[in-house]
Chain A
Amino acid sequence: EVQLVESGGIVIQPGGSLRLTCETSGFIFDDYSMHWVRQPPGKGLEWISLLSWDGDDTTFADSVKGRFTISRDNSENSVFLQMNNLSTEDTAFYYCARDGVPLGYRYYFDSWGQGTLVTVSS
C-alpha cells in the first residue's frame, strides 16, 4: 500500500523558517517525481513545488519562488520542503503528493499524504 506521511507543521512567527518532511513507503520511491501542494483552511488547492524522480528538475509556483526549496533523500524514501521568510499568506495545510507518471512527471497526483498544518502568526 502506498503511504505518504507529512510532518513538521507548527505555529511559527512571520519571517521564520521551517522544514517539512514527507516519508513514503509502499512503492519504488526512486522512480517517482514528488510534489508539494498546499491548501489554506477552507480554500482551494495550490500546487507549489516539484522535484523530479532523478533529481534533475525542480519547479516552484511564483508565490514561493526564491523562498522555498525542495529536496529528496532516496535512501530514506523522503522528500523535504524548506520554507524561508514565511508570511501569514503561507498558512495552509501542506500535502506531499506523488506524480502520476513513473520515471517522468505530468503534474497530476495519484497519491497524497494526510497533510501537515503550518500556521504563520505573530
Chain B
Amino acid sequence: EIVLTQSPDTLSLSPGERATLSCRASQSVSSSYIAWYQQTPGQAPKLLIYGASSRATGIPGRFSGSGSGTDFTLTISRLEPEDFAVYSCQHYGSSSTFGQGTKVEI
C-alpha cells in the first residue's frame, strides 16, 4: 500500500503570501493519479486538483499542482482569506489513500 506523507503539518502564513504544500509517496506513483482536496471546518472536502496538475471545475487559477515520481506539490500563489483550511493529497487509480493533511492557518 502506498503511504502519503504531507509536510508541513501546519503552515502559518498571511493573506497575500504564497503557500507551498508537499506530498511525498512511499513509492513512485503515476502523476496521473494524484489529487488534492481542500476542507474548511465543518464542511465536506472539495476537489481542487486531479491528475497532479489539472484544476477541477470552478477552481481559481491561484491553485496549481505539480510533481512526479514520489514528490508532489500544491501551490497557492496568493492566499485569500477563504483559503485558510486543511489540504489533503490523495493517490487514486485502483484504490485510494490519503495523506494526513496540512493545515494552512493565519
Contact = CB atoms under 8 A, between A and B. Distances in A.
Interface in B72-100: 88, 90, 92-100
A45 interface: yes
Interface residues of B, number: 23
Q: Is the interface of A mostly helix, strand, loop or mixed?
A: strand
Give the interface residue-count category, chain A.
10 to 19
A95 B45 contact: yes
Interface string A77-119: 0000000000000000001000010000011111111110000
19 contacts: A35-B96, A37-B45, A44-B88, A44-B98, A44-B100, A45-B37, A45-B88, A100-B47, A107-B95, A107-B96, A108-B50, A108-B90, A108-B92, A109-B45, A109-B47, A110-B47, A110-B50, A112-B44, A114-B44
Interface of B: 33, 35, 37, 43-47, 50, 56-57, 88, 90, 92-101
